Amino acid sequence: MCIRDRWGDSYTGGQVVAVAACDPRPRAVVAQCPVFGAALPAQAPDADFLKAFKHTLLEGDVTGTPETTTGPLPVVSFDPSSVPSLLAPIQAFRWFIDYGGRPGSGWTNRVSRVIPPTPVLFAPILCAPFVKVPVLLMVAPADEMVHANVEVTRHAYGLLAGPKRWVDVDAVSYTHLSFSVRARKGGCRRLLFWSQPSSVALAGHFRQRAC
């Protein structure tokens, strides 16, 4: 996918919103089951935040420290209470073991997570007011992933400054792959009806690339 359009799912669903706030090149954003956080941040979005956020992304030290590093540990576990893992939901376990366990995938069930001590939080929701391009959010109201809190996502949607659409999808998490293909196709069809010329052109691009 070219830099002019951004499509993200789950955590990258929030990341593409952040990218669109910091980079003038994207022309449209589609976020499927986006993650904007488990709760609303205490900080309010403002120009100072965005400036510090962008500087951190481009030039900040994000290497982390031993105190801010978790792992290595399993990505998923059949029993997180006895064998701790980074992702606890059983849906994540099923998805990673099913798809990552296939021959030739190259996936290993080990990960380290670094939360570096940066000047500002990595909070895509605080970037939302600075996104001026068309945004399509495809949201699972019954999402079971804790950081995909639908009320936080609704708040992020309200902050978006440009043209926007909200579409409910029938799923419980990003790992519900049977819905993902339908959601992508539905999202492409909905983009076709956007009135902005750039969005209509990008809709065709999404349809050819993603559907």
Q: What kind and span of H or E run contains 22?
A: helix 11-22
Predicted local distance difference test score (pLDDT) of residue 52 = 95
- Comparing CA positions, the residue from 209, 193, 190 lying closest to residue 138 is 190
d(CA 64, CA 43): 22
Predicted local distance difference test score (pLDDT) of residue 195 = 30
pLDDT in tens, 52-80: 999 998 898 888 889 999 999 999 999 99
- Comparing CA positions, the residue from 15, 39, 22 lying closest to residue 130 is 22
Spans in the chain with pLDDT lower than 50: 1-2, 174, 176-211
Name all domains of the chain by residue range, CATH numbers in brackets.
5-60+122-210 (3.40.50.1820), 72-114 (no CATH)
Predicted local distance difference test score (pLDDT) of residue 146 = 85
Token pair in block for residue 26:
């994207």
**N- to C-terminal Cα distance for the chain?**
13
∠ at Cα 38 (40, 96), nearest 5°? 150
- Comparing CA positions, the residue from 73, 173, 144, 77 lying closest to residue 114 is 73
